[in-house]
Amino acid sequence: MNRRRFLTLSAAALAPLPGHAATLTTWEGTGLGTALTLHLVGATPHQARQTFARVEAEVARIETLASLHRDSALTRLNRDGHLSWPSPDFLDLLTLAGQVHAATEGAFDPTVQPLWLALAEGTDPAKARALVGWNRLHLSPEEIHLAPGQALTLNGIAQGWAADRIADLLRAQGFTEALVDMGEIAALGESGWPAVIAGPNGTALAQTRLTNRALATSSPRGTLVNGQPHILGPQGQPPLWQTVSVSAPDAAIADALSTAFCLMDRAAIDKALARFPDARLEVAA
């Protein structure tokens, strides 16, 4: 799930919470194919230790659902072509992926995994491209079923979805100010977290402040596969932008839209955003 982001966040700039000094406690870890960070405001040392342990357990659980690099619901689905009685969380994640697929008129399509493998292995992509097609996937509470030869990648949505799950965990623990970085960003709180969005060459493209909002940034050439951009057009379309950044209340939506928008012109982006009125294009450069 490693998609290099070009984003700088300033935790030190968080304003103190009303009524007490803003104690900032930071956790760092690895998972989901990337480095993970959590900045937590207002926790006692005991609360922080308990919360960080819960975060680590939740990251491990998410990997058992969406990882391509270990035994997971996703790898079993890809191996067997079907998955009986999927967990509600996994079904919800794929349902959300389908909603973004529809809103972007197919630009977001997790069935590009065979195409990605063909690119990585240097084989003819024509056969793999024939396997692409979200509409050939069947979703139900009883079973998820792929068409023959299909496989999924959730790299364009899973990190954002993980950030949302961790944000939900923190809210359930009573925390109201935090910055969650699970490869994509979810910011909790009214004080706001400053963010600078940069392009592949490090040039600052935009600044924003995240207040109870998520941010995802995609750069097709941030990671190359055999010299080619890692974000693949389902119908072979090339990326149109070097960097795209989207903010939204939910990190999964921001993540999936920033991925798809790399392949879409501005008119198509605006049309997709009309389906998600709370989402906002921060950068398309």
Per-residue pLDDT tens over the stretch 89-139: 999 999 999 999 999 999 999 999 999 999 889 888 889 999 999 999 999
Q: How many Å apart are CA 264 and CA 259, to the nearest integer?
A: 10
Q: Are residues 62 and 138 in the same domain?
A: no
**DSSP character for 221?**
G
- Residue 263 belongs to a domain: yes
Q: Are residues 41 and 114 in the same domain?
A: no
Q: Are residues 141 and 187 in the same domain?
A: no
User: Is the pLDDT at 21 greater than 50, yes or no?
Assistant: no
Is the Cβ–Cβ distance between 36 and 181 less than 8 Å?
yes
Q: Are residues 219 and 107 in the same domain?
A: no
Domain assignment of residue 29, given as a range: 7-66+156-284
Residues 6+ positions from 203 with CB-CB distance below 8 Å: none
Q: Are residues 44 and 173 in the same domain?
A: yes
User: Is the pLDDT at 1 greater than 60, yes or no?
Assistant: no
Listed residue (216, 7, 220) closest to 107, CA to CA = 220
User: Is the pLDDT at 248 greater than 90, yes or no?
Assistant: yes
Is the Cβ–Cβ distance between 86 and 79 less than 8 Å?
no
- Residue 280 belongs to a domain: yes
Q: How many Å apart are CA 172 and CA 102, to the nearest integer?
A: 32
- Residue 193 belongs to a domain: yes
Q: Are residues 102 and 238 in the same domain?
A: no
Q: Are residues 207 and 261 in the same domain?
A: yes
- pLDDT tens digits, one per residue of 150-180: 999 999 999 999 999 999 999 999 999 999 9
Confidence of residue 22 (pLDDT cuts 50, 70, 90): low
Q: How many Å apart are CA 199 and CA 212, to the nearest integer?
A: 24
CATH number at residue 218: 3.10.520.10
Tell how far CA 278 is from the center of its chain.
17
Q: Which two tokens stand for residue 5?
A: 């982001």
Report how many domains make up the chain: 2
- Residue 151 belongs to a domain: no
Q: Are residues 78 and 52 in the same domain?
A: no
Give the mean model confidence (pLDDT) for residues 226-250.
90
Q: Are residues 259 and 275 in the same domain?
A: yes
Q: Are residues 138 and 214 in the same domain?
A: no
- Residue 1 belongs to a domain: no
- Residue 256 belongs to a domain: yes
- Residue 245 belongs to a domain: yes
Q: Which two tokens stand for residue 120?
A: 């990585």
- Residue 150 belongs to a domain: no
Q: Give pTM, 2 decimals.
A: 0.91
